[in-house]
């Protein structure tokens, strides 16, 4: 598929960066075009225009794959923005309670507890929307 995947997720700790990096290269390995705030914008602060660059990447994307464990405020903002824009969201989450995911489930985000399934659903949804 030619559409772009926006990879949302926290990248503050070593473990978070490792997971975002693994997902980034898995998506690329499946042939998808990926925008990752960490890979494409970096870790600069507000003064460097990070928010504007991330939103531009989000608006240029066809689907969002969000790593939701930890309920990071930036990731949740990106999900809400995508839902408002009508961009499909796949939320990969293993360790949050169903109650924490009510807004995601209630706005038709696809919630997946298995990473491999989330990756392939991303590919399938991109292909369906072309």
Residue in this structure with the two tokens 């930036």, named with its chain if needed: 74
Other Cβ atoms closer than 10 A to 39: 15
- pLDDT (tens digit per residue) in 46-91: 666 788 999 999 999 999 999 999 999 999 999 999 999 999 999 9
pLDDT-derived band of residue 42, with 50, 70 and 90 as boundaries?
confident
What ranges make up the beta strands (E) of the chain? 4-8, 33-35, 63-67, 89-92, 110-112
Is the pLDDT score of 33 beyond 80?
yes
Q: Is the CB of residue 56 less than 8 Å from the CB of residue 42?
A: no
- State how far the Cα of 60 lies from the Cα of 123, in Å rounded to an integer: 17
- State how far the Cα of 90 lies from the Cα of 63, in Å rounded to an integer: 8
């Amino acid at each position: 598929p030619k559409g772009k995947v926006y990879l949302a997720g926290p990248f503050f700790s070593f473990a978070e960066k490792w997971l975002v990096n693994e997902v980034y290269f898995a998506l690329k390995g499946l042939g998808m075009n990926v925008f990752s705030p960490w890979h494409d914008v970096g870790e600069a602060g507000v003064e460097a225009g990070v928010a504007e660059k991330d939103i531009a990447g989000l608006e240029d994307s066809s689907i969002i794959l969000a790593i939701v464990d930890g309920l990071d405020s930036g990731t949740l903002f990106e999900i809400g923005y995508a839902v408002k824009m009508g961009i499909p969201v796949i939320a990969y989450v293993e360790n949050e309670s169903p109650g924490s995911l009510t807004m995601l489930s209630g706005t038709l985000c696809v919630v997946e507890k298995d990473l491999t399934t989330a990756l392939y659903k991303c590919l399938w949804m991109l292909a369906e929307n072309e």
